């Protein structure tokens, strides 16, 4: 995977495959993305718009955000995505949103949760209930988090969808609250829903691999407190999200969304070190337990990711080594106490 600049990166993240296009033919109407201004939102909206166009359905894509990043808003508008500036916590703004038979919910708050827990709960638990009430007749795909699971032994292969949630910390508990709100209104109103427990999406400008690679490149120690992790190319995560819409059900379908490998953070750092000609340094010791997801059910439905971990590491190393732009949004995947 050779990506030399941000235009090529955006194109790679947003290029629909044949399965995405076929899924778009099953939408039965337009698509509305809530919280489209985040890390994944722009490329997901672009991918959706391209898939709808190639499907020849005439379905339109719209995205809602406060749009603090005007660059991403301009990118969406140029691609034919209708952008709507709104504060979703404002009741009047939520009420004025257009009806849509398909809704993707991406609004969330993670970092900064500690010390401002009230706003975190408003975004992650209260707002999902309001959105579910506002769109009772829509199909809804809602992003959740693997943080709802407990830490499990590394040898376990990670939590499955049957693993009882046991979130650690206010953010993770509020993320489970988001799921509970969508589940309640799905059952109360018959709203078909998919809950995607994502853990973690990566691209070249941010993510677990970028965080580790950047540390190695800067000759800073890599924290081993969370000694293992799962990752998935954001383009593949985008594809699963779009393709999951026709699978929405009541009660909700729950899917773990990540890659198939249990990655050793130490090993990833060593691979980056070989690319950079650097001997990585480390701090801390690997725990025998980690936050890990088993996405076998997702692979059964949608197949395995199209981009391998080695390809991702190599592409990320080239990006970092050439001075590629960073989004400045560290994942803090190494946090073990749930305080973000």
Distances (CA, A) of 320 to 228, 280, 332: 22, 15, 18
- Share of residues in the chain with pLDDT > 70 (%): 99
| 124 three-state secondary structure | helix
Chain position carrying tokens 């198939």: 260
The pLDDT tens digits of the residues spanning 96-139 come to: 999 999 999 999 987 665 778 899 999 999 999 999 999 999 99
In DSSP notation, 253-285 reads EEEEES-S--EEHHHHHHHHHHHHT----EES-
Question: HEC states along 7-44?
Answer: HHHHHHHHCCCHHHHHHHCCCCCCEEEECCCCCCHHHH
Share of the chain above pLDDT 90, in %: 89
Instruction: State mean pLDDT over 282-290.
Output: 95
* Reduced 3-state DSSP string for 156-189: HCCECCCCCCCCCHHHHHHHHHHHHHHHHHHHHH
Q: Which two tokens stand for residue 236?
A: 């593949």
Q: Are 68 and 38 in contact (CB under 8 A)?
A: no
CATH topology of domain 6-321: Rossmann fold (3.40.50)
Query: Would you list the domain boundaries of the chain?
Result: 6-321
With beta carbons less than 8 A apart as the criterion, state whether 82 and 49 touch: no
- The string of pLDDT tens digits covering residues 137-184 is 999 999 999 999 999 999 999 999 999 999 999 999 999 999 999 999
């Amino acid at each position: 995977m050779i990506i030399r600049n941000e235009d090529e990166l955006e194109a790679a993240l947003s290029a629909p495959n044949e399965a995405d296009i076929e899924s778009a033919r099953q939408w039965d109407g337009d698509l509305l993305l809530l919280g489209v201004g985040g890390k994944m939102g722009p490329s997901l909206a672009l991918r959706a718009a391209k898939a709808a166009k190639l499907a020849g359905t005439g379905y339109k894509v719209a995205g809602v955000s406060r749009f603090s990043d005007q660059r991403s808003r301009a990118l969406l508008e140029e691609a034919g995505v209708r952008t709507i500036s709104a504060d979703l916590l404002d009741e009047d703004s939520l009420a004025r949103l257009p009806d849509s038979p398909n809704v993707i919910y991406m609004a969330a708050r993670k970092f900064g949760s500690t010390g401002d827990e009230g706003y975190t709960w408003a975004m992650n638990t209260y707002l999902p209930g309001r959105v579910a009430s506002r769109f009772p007749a829509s199909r809804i795909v809602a992003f959740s988090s693997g943080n709802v699971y407990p830490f499990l032994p590394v040898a376990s292969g990670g939590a499955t969808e049957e693993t009882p949630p046991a979130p650690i910390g206010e953010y993770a508990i509020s993320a489970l609250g988001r799921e509970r709100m969508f589940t309640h209104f799905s059952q109360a109103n018959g709203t078909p829903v998919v809950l995607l427990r994502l853990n973690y999406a990566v691209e070249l400008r941010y993510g677990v691999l970028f965080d580790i690679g950047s540390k190695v490149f800067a000759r800073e120690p890599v924290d081993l407190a969370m000694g293992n992790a799962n990752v998935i190319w954001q383009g593949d995560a985008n594809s699963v999200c779009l393709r999951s819409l026709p699978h929405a059900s009541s009660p909700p379908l729950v899917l773990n969304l990540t890659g198939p490998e249990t990655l050793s953070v130490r090993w990833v750092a060593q691979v980056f070190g070989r690319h950079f000609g650097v001997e990585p340094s480390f701090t801390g010791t690997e725990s025998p337990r980690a936050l890990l997801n088993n996405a076998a059910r997702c692979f059964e439905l949608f197949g395995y990711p199209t981009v391998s971990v080695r390809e991702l590491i190599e592409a990320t190393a080239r990006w970092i080594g050439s001075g590629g732009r960073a989004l400045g949004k560290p994942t803090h995947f190494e946090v073990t106490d749930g305080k973000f």
